[in-house]
Structure formats: structure tokens, C-alpha cells
Amino acid sequence: MLQANTKDGKRLVLAFLPRKQIEWHRKHSTFYCPVCGEEVIVKAGEKVVPHFAHLAQSNCPNSKGGEGPYHEQGKMLLYKWLKEQQLSVQLERYLHKINQRPDLTLQWKNKCLAIEYQCATLSTNEVIHRNNGYISSNITPIWIFGANQFQRLNEHSIKIKSFMKQCFLHFNSNPSLIFFCPHTSRILAINDIFFVSSNKIVGKITFHR
């Protein structure tokens, strides 16, 4: 997770700090999980986004399903970009009522959106479970995939995984898929989607920065 609480209850995001300050905190500070209150440790190697981690024996729901550097970097970049747009966005907000923690939670046009930045394959049942949880709380799920999930077959056709069929965005009845690459900071959108087989679609592919 990218954020944790200090002893005095303040929320800290390590990735916003200079490396020297992170190292100081690693040696001198104590941090706690915002969900369960357990003590967490600083992880800040050269090849990872600085973050916090539970100890191995933790039973906190916030500790399940570790995230890799690719996911953490993408989540942080999306968060920073939304903040720069002056939008009301929260990082890793835990929703106790449904026991879910979307990567980002956004207030937009009187709606609450849960943004899932998905860089690994999920089961279709897990996606349905998450979507149903959000909808039951009057929250709209928005799925953004890592560019590592993008499989282009030719100019207009794309291979998709089964779980992605539950993740389409719908704007004016036009289904869309969105991918984001944290290495290039580029967004790829697929619009005007049409299925040609169970795992193959064609559509209009556009790139954005």
C-alpha cells in the first residue's frame, strides 16, 4: 500500500517524499495500517515505488494480493494526474461496508467512482463480486487496465481476456476499454467495440497523453 498513518494519526504517502526523508522515516518512524491499525514497515528499494507492507503473519484484508512495482507506479501517476485536474480523489480508501479497497475513489458530477487499476488477470467471478459490491453502495466501478494487459492482433483487432468482458465502460451506449502505461504515461482507449469471437474484438484505438 502507498500510504499509512503516523503515530499522531496523520496520513503519509512515501512516494511524495525525497529519498533521504524516506530513509530517515525508515529508521526513526513507526507507521500503522489505515484499515486494521497494525504496524507496517517501509519498503523503498531502488526498483520499487516507496510503499508500506504488513508483516507476513498479518490477517488484515488490506494486506492481501500484493501489488508489483508496475501497478504501484501506475496507481500513483493516475492519482497525481487526477489531483492536478483539481478533482476530489482519494488514494486506497477502504470501504468497510463492502470490505473492498479500490485503488482510487473519485467524486465527479455528483457521482462516486471507484477506479480499479488492474495489471493482473482476475477471475470473472472476482470482477463480478467487486462490481456488485460497488453498485450496492451506489458507487460506479471504473476499470483501467495496465498496458501489460493489451494484446493487439492487427491494426483494429485486439485479444481480450475473459474477465475484461465485465469491465467495459459505457458512454452513450458506446462500450470502451481503457489501458494505461506507467512507463510512458500514455492512455490507450478502444471505442466502437464489436466482438468477432469470444475473446477477440475490433474497435477504434486511440492514444492519449
- The whole-number pLDDT of residue 59 equals 80
CB distance 58 to 38 below 8 Å: yes
- The whole-number pLDDT of residue 209 equals 79
β-bridge pairing 140-146 and 111-118: parallel
Q: Beta partners for 174?
A: 171
Q: State CA 9 to chain mean position distance.
A: 24
- The whole-number pLDDT of residue 109 equals 87
Listed residue (99, 92, 97) closest to 34, CA to CA: 92
Task: Name the burial class of residue 23, with classes exposed (0-12), middle (13-18) and buried (19+) by CB atoms within 10 angstroms of its CB.
Answer: middle
pLDDT along the chain (209 residues), means of 10: 92 91 92 92 86 85 71 94 94 94 93 96 95 96 96 91 90 83 94 92 91
Q: What angle do CA 180, 133, 63 make, to 5 degrees?
A: 65
